[in-house]
Structure 1
Amino acid sequence: MPNRAPEHLLSRRSWPEARFLADVLRTETVGGGLLLLGAVIALIWANSPWRGAYAALADWVPWPGGTALHLDLDLATWAADGLLAIFFFVVGLELKREFVAGDLRDPRRAALPVVAALGGMAMPALCYVTVTLAAGGAGLRGWAIPTATDIAFALAVLAVVSSHLPQGLRAFLLTLAVVDDLFAIIIIAVFYTADFHVLPLLGALVPIAVFALVVRRRRVWWWALVPLAVLAWGLVHASGVHATVSGVLLGFTVPVLAKRGNRPEGAERGDGPDEAGRGHGPGLAERLEHRWRPVSAGLAVPVFAFFAAGVSLVDVDLAGVLTDPVVLGVVAGLVLGKSIGVFGSTFLLARFTRAELDEDITWADMFGLSLLAGIGFTVSLLIGELAFGPGSPENDGVKAAVLFGSLVSAALASGVLRRRNRAYRRISERESRDSDGDGVPDVYEEESA
């Protein structure tokens, strides 16, 4: 009986998938830069002589009479509950696409990012719990804070330190973050819903179902879809479940595959996410994702970062902050837990399945990417607010810890990945060579021959 060829981890994706991935990475990288800009402005303003104006802006309530509808929210809460719903809508679209037409539809390819994401969430939580229990158990409610990877922040760092990372690693980081977001959504819904009301949640199913019926007809009637989405958001918010969950549910309703024969003018056969011939051209999920991702990356996440990252260190006992078990737990979870969890689970999966890394990738690359996964920001700050409450001393410590832990992870990842950038450049030049000028790199034509 002939020996089976070893399975290759982090191998190159198909050409249509590679093009889609490049567009996503480009948008998220720009969004990561805007996210960093928003966070830096917030930190400078919150520690300047005008810090009172920053606090007043964050605490301003645009609609003070909206108590009955639970809409008497300040701007910081609107950013966290409202704008982030757009971010999670894009996450929902991306998850649906990955499960239907991406890597996650193939159990063999899905195993690596799923296992890595689970390890990359379990180890940070374990690190946090260990540190806080050693200090008496205070702050255990924040166990999930260091479990999330911020893809926009991570890709922004990656673009600066290593612009020629092999496609397999970039795809792995993106898919890992998508699966990471899925588990984070479950954690938020299950563990951080304090005051649950079942009737508004059941009521939210009505606009979500109507939204699903409209998009199933491949219709993009904004005059209908936007009010339905807002109504679903309001009812989920009133139920006590975090309102951003509504974005994910709406994203899940959007069909991924284009109808057979529904091919845009000028499109080539095989374009889009569906490689099985079930449709031609991009499906509605991809088109909506293409439209809303810039809004998410360019507006929703940076504005949230602006309001969430403004921790004031004026008159703060830095020694006390640095010895706070919540701060130490978050930093340990992001820096140590993430890298050990992602790298260790990947290594064990390869060891037990006898799989091998793709020929262009080394374990040093994988370790650098595992360090990069320790950059947690958007979802980590959101969970911190849900765990301890906005404006609480613990939440201020969480903000400082997330910023510090993410910067340390970014610095360590930069040190590892910079050394491999020359090799990455040679790989990138080879993969982008198009000798016949047909727009498809030679390496993809060789694989399909």
Structure 2
Amino acid sequence: MTQVRPELSRYLRTETVGGALLLIAAATALLWVNSPWAASYLTMTETVVAIPRLHLELTLADWTKDGLLAVFFFVAGLELKRELVVGELADRKRATLPVIAAIGGVVTPALIAAVIGFGVPGMDRGWAIPVATDIAFALAALALTGSRIPAGARVFLLSLAVVDDLIAIVLIAVLFTTTMSLLWLLAAAGCFAAWALAQRKRVSTPLLYVPLALVSWYALHEGGIHPTLAGVALGLLTRVRPDPGERQAPATRLEHLFQPISAGLCVPLFALFAAGVPLNTTVFGELFSDRLALAVMFGLLLGKPLGIFGMSWAAIRLGIATRPNELGWRDMFALAVLGGIGFTVSLLVAELALADIADGSSVELAKTAVLVASLAASLAGSALLLRRGRVHQARRDARALEREE
């Protein structure tokens, strides 16, 4: 058993396996909720699990979205911090690019959705539906189809998606949070400060870090902020440079520990609970004629690539930012298309923005539009990445042949 477990962990750390598990879970949810056994799926997702002493009552779907996904965001924060300090994003101009691209990827789809859906009920806040890129699904698609693309592609997409989601979380807080507790937010800030101080003082015991992580998550939840933000914050506050004589920095150790859990358990379970969108012929019949649905789909499929690629191109041309190593313009465009995978946050915003519409059909229509657009973006982006991967592999083969000669 001692030999099997490290091998299993190593296996689950590979992003291709994690991406495959995520897509299998998403497909299972989609088939399940549109099958004769749909009632059992809905019962499962809506089952409430409560912690009475903390006054927490969340459905299983909410626990996976707010709880398990925080582990994924923690791993993403660790990786992003490493790239910012000792990796490709240590260069200021390279670090600037994904931030500018993320802003373009938020503003452009929001404008397109607002113009197309102008005057439609619910679009006063529904313009925010297509603004977010789903980190988990986008990285899964990249892992499955972009393995031959230079590593800078993952760094760019990860950084872009993290900034994109942070902007989306702020939008949710501004547009949809009716009550925000300053005391709880200060408590969360105190936890983050204590984590950073403990890292600075080289404290290593989990007896301190585990409670800090749990309390910070709970404080953000009670404070009215999406609690997955705690994962990103703690990851970014973790030390990535090893001390002299230290075998591994804390960030490296934690990433090795949590990445298999994130890839093999947290993200697939999140997909299983999030991807169950009911589909019906009535909704599909309205999908390409209803302005709300068109606003969402054009925002994701047109606004995301235009905003991400356009702002990236402008920033690089103006000398504000630098293009990632070995990535060409066509690689950047393929990644921008992949940015149109909205899914989780887009589905959440659709529920929040359209909840006041009486008949409820608008929510179902918007969710279907998100699902169709995200699927189209994943297929188109993956096809472009496969093509670009063949080009990069041919270049590597040619260079290897030249060295042999």
TM-score normalised by the shorter chain: which range applies?
A: 0.7 to 0.9
Q: Identify the match of residue 36 of structure 2 among 29, 38, 49.
A: 49
Q: What runs of 5+ residues in structure 2 fail to find an aligned partner?
A: 1-9
Q: Give the Cα–Cα distance (whole angstroms) in 2 for the partners of residues 88 and 315 of structure 1.
A: 36
Residue in 2 that maps onto 1:92:
77
Counterpart CA distance in 2 for 1:61 and 1:249 is: 28
- Which segment is superposed worse, 402-411 or 140-149? 140-149
Q: Tell me, yes or no, if the aligned pair for 2:64 and 2:269 is still in contact at 8 Å.
A: yes
1:406 to 374, 392, 404: 374
Structure 2 CA distance for aligned equivalents of residues 248 and 48 of structure 1: 36
Q: Cα distance 1:359–1:310, how it changes in 2: closer, same or farther (>3 A)?
A: closer
Q: Is the 8 A contact 1:38 1:305 kept in 2?
A: yes
Q: Which has the higher helix share?
A: 2
Measure how far apart 1:28 and its partner are: 3.7
Query: Are residues 1:334 and 2:317 paired?
Result: no
In 2: Cα distance, 1:406 partner to 1:31 partner: 19
Letter in 2 for 1:58: T
TM-score by length of 2: 0.83
Shift of 1:339: 1.1
Please tell me whether residue 254 in structure 1 is matched to residue 222 in structure 2. no
1:263 is the counterpart of 2:246 = yes
| Residues 1:82 and 1:166: Cα distance change in structure 2 (over 3 Å) | closer
Q: 1:69 touches 1:238 (CA, 8 Å); kept in 2?
A: no
Residue 377 of structure 1 is matched in structure 2 by 343
1:316-373 deviations in Å (ceiling 9; x for gaps) = 4432344443322221111101111122122223333399968955433332222122
Are the counterparts in 1 of residues 240 and 251 from structure 2 also a CA contact under 8 Å?
yes
The separation in 2 between residues aligned to 1:81 and 1:355, in whole angstroms, is: 34
Residues 41-440 of structure 1: pairs in structure 2 closer than 5 A: 41-63=28-50, 66=52, 69-133=54-118, 135-136=119-120, 138-259=122-243, 261-264=244-247, 282-314=248-280, 316-353=282-319, 361-388=327-354, 393-429=361-397
The separation in 2 between residues aligned to 1:360 and 1:432, in whole angstroms, is 16
Q: Which has the larger radius of gyration?
A: 1
**2:49 partner SS:** coil
Letter in 2 for 1:147: V
Give me the CA root mean square deviation.
Answer: 3.4
Unaligned runs of 5+ in 1: 1-22, 265-281, 437-449
1:153-197 per-residue CA deviation (whole Å, 9 max, x = no partner) reads 234334444542233434433332333334334334444423212
Alignment-mate amino acid for residue 380 of structure 2: L
Matched pairs, number:
392
Counterparts in 2 of 1:137 and 1:127: CA distance versus 1, 3 Å: farther
How far apart are residue 26 of structure 1 and its match?
6.6
Change (3 A) 1:245 1:179: closer
Compare 363-372 and 400-409 and name the one that shifted more. 363-372
Partner residue in 1 for 2:6? none
CA spacing shift, 1:324–1:70, aligned 2, 3 Å? farther
1:307 and 1:415 map into 2 onto residues whose CA distance is: 27
Q: Could you say if the C-alpha distance between residues 328 and 285 of structure 1 is closer, same or farther in structure 2, counting changes exceeding 3 Å? A: same
Letter of the 1:222 partner, please give it.
Answer: P
Task: For 1:79 and 1:307, locate their aligned partners in 2 and report how far apart those are by CA, in whole Å.
Answer: 7
Note the C-alpha offset of 1:208: 3.7
Cα distance in 2 for residues equivalent to 1:209 and 1:327:
43
- Judged with a 3 Å threshold, the aligned counterparts in structure 2 of structure 1 residues 206 and 355 are, in CA distance, closer, same or farther, namely closer
Counterpart CA distance in 2 for 1:136 and 1:179 is: 29
**Deviation string for 1:63-104 (max 9, x for gaps)?**
2x73x7341111111112211222222233334334333344
Q: Is the 8 A contact 1:196 1:239 kept in 2?
A: yes
The AA in structure 2 aligned to 1:423 is V
SS in 1 for 2:235: helix
**Within 1, Cα distance between the matches of 2:322 and 2:237?**
37
Structure-1 separation of matches of 2:210 and 2:320: 49
Asked whether the equivalents of residues 113 and 295 of structure 2 are also in contact (C-alpha less than 8 Å), the reply is yes
Whichever residue aligns with residue 246 of structure 2, its letter is: R
Q: Which amino acid is 1:367 matched to?
A: F
> Does the 8 Å contact 1:207/1:228 carry over to 2?
yes
